[in-house]
């Protein structure tokens, strides 16, 4: 190959690399949006998340109920039996451990990257069963709702498990 052709190929390669670098730099916000998720926050003034109507068939028959209302109106219909607590522990391991950690102290792997969830055993005494149930169902400021994932009876079992780790 002639030296002139080698220089031409090298120039084309350098131009191609520079162009692709420029595309990444110029298109960086777009590219970054694909790599890093946007910060997820509910709308200002909202205290819970909910799925858009019709997106996920939930079979949910309970009327919407805010946590404050649920705290006053709802009572746990499931007695805190060993079977109920075991089911709740299973639900906790499936849906909660990633953020809240194995013992509920807010030290799950997600907390290292995004936020520190509350230390559940220390705050359980300040919350009613209805409030906890509504938080599981509706979510919170950062916590997504689990009402469409966990059936109502198992949500109450989860509340029983949370009571069992209460300090």
Which uninterrupted H or E stretch holds 14? helix 3-26
- In the chain, the percentage of residues whose pLDDT exceeds 70 is 71
Token representation of residue 123: 């705050």
H runs (alpha helix) in 49-128: 67-73, 82-95, 97-100, 109-113, 120-123
Token representation of residue 51: 């799925």
Q: What are 95-147's pLDDT values in tens digits?
A: 999 999 999 998 988 888 888 888 999 998 899 999 999 999 988 888 888 88
Evaluated on CA atoms 29, 33, 35, 40, the torsion sign reads positive
Homologous superfamily, domain 67-164: Cytochrome c-like domain (1.10.760.10)
State how far the Cα of 107 lies from the Cα of 122, in Å rounded to an integer.
14
Q: Is the pLDDT of residue 90 over 50?
A: yes
Contact 100, 132 (CB under 8 A): no
Q: Give 116-122 contacts, CB < 8 A, sequence gap 24+.
A: 117/142, 117/143, 120/162, 120/165, 121/165, 121/166, 121/167, 122/167
Segments making up each domain of the chain, as ranges: 3-35, 67-164
State how far the Cα of 121 lies from the Cα of 119, in Å rounded to an integer.
6
Q: Is the pLDDT of residue 73 over 70?
A: yes
140-162 average pLDDT score: 89
CA atoms within 13 A on the CB side of 37: 5
State how far the Cα of 59 lies from the Cα of 64, in Å rounded to an integer.
13
């Amino acid at each position: 190959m002639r030296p002139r052709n080698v220089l031409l190929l090298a120039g084309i390669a350098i131009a191609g690399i520079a162009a692709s670098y420029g595309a990444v730099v110029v298109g960086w916000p777009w590219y970054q949006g694909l790599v890093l998720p946007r910060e997820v926050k509910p709308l200002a003034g909202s205290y819970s998340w909910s799925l858009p109507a019709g997106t996920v068939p939930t079979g949910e028959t309970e009327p919407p109920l805010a946590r404050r209302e649920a705290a006053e109106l709802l009572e746990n219909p499931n007695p805190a039996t060993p079977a109920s607590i075991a089911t709740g522990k299973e639900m906790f391991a499936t849906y909660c451990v990633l953020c809240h950690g194995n013992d509920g102290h807010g030290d799950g792997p997600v907390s290292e990257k995004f936020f520190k969830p509350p230390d559940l055993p220390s705050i359980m005494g300040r919350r009613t069963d209805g409030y906890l149930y509504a938080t599981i169902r509706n979510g919170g400021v950062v916590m997504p709702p689990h009402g469409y994932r966990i059936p109502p009876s198992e949500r109450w079992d989860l509340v029983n498990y949370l009571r069992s780790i209460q300090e």
